[in-house]
């Protein structure tokens, strides 16, 4: 009987040790401002704006001769910032640059105001998707905005920049339409 009890104690101890030695489950969360700042500096990026998308953040950035966006998460429990998506494009002579993903789990588009005069006078950006849907955001003095769509869309029709007085400052139609 003592042998059976002792064997049972050993099995319980081994079971507890095995459970304690299991790796912690991996989950993800969006990065906070205190994690984004050192991340951007370490990667030579100047952040324009960031936007929370459930358990991730999309960051719009400027890096030398290009603009881009990254979809970032933080792996728990390690606290490591990970990149799910990285898209960049060279700056152009156009007044605005439009990049983003309109499909998938996190549909969004980023509008970068490249023209200095437009940047100084723009207070809001609107993306017309179709006759019944549009996305909009204020610039708050930043060089770009991230417009998040509640559902995937096929494409946008028109992007408009508005002044503080609500007048259209610049408008661009989708060249693929």
Can you tell me the distance from the alpha carbon of 28 to that of 56, in angstroms, rounded to the nearest whole number? 8
* pTM for the whole structure: 0.79
Are 50 and 57 in contact by the 8 Å Cβ rule? The answer is yes
Amino acid 23: pLDDT: 59
Q: What is the mean pLDDT of the chain?
A: 86
Can you tell me the distance from the alpha carbon of 58 to that of 69, in angstroms, rounded to the nearest whole number? 7
Residues 42-53: b if buried by 16+ CB within 10 A, e if exposed: eeebebbbbbeb
Phi/psi-derived region of residue 8, left when phi > 0, alpha when psi is between -120 and 50, beta in every other case:
alpha
| Interval 10-28 mean pLDDT | 61
For the cut 80, the answer to whether the pLDDT of residue 166 exceeds it is yes
| Interval 23-34 mean pLDDT | 76
């Amino acid at each position: 009987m003592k042998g059976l009890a002792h064997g049972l104690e050993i099995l319980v101890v081994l079971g507890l040790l095995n459970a304690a030695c299991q790796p912690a489950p991996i989950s993800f969360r969006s990065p906070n401002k205190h994690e984004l700042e050192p991340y951007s500096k370490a990667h030579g990026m100047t952040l324009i704006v960031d936007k929370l998308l459930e358990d991730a953040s999309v960051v719009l950035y400027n890096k030398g001769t290009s603009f881009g966006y990254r979809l970032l998460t933080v792996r728990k429990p390690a606290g490591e910032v990970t990149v799910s998506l990285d898209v960049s494009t060279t700056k152009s002579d156009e007044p605005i640059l439009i990049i983003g993903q309109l499909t998938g789990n996190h549909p969004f588009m980023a509008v970068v105001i490249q023209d200095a005069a437009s940047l100084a006078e723009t207070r809001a950006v609107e993306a017309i998707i179709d006759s019944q849907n549009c996305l909009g955001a204020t610039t708050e003095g930043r060089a770009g905005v991230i417009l998040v769509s509640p559902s995937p869309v096929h494409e946008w029709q028109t992007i408009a920049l508005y002044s503080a007085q609500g007048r259209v400052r610049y408008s661009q139609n989708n060249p693929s339409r």
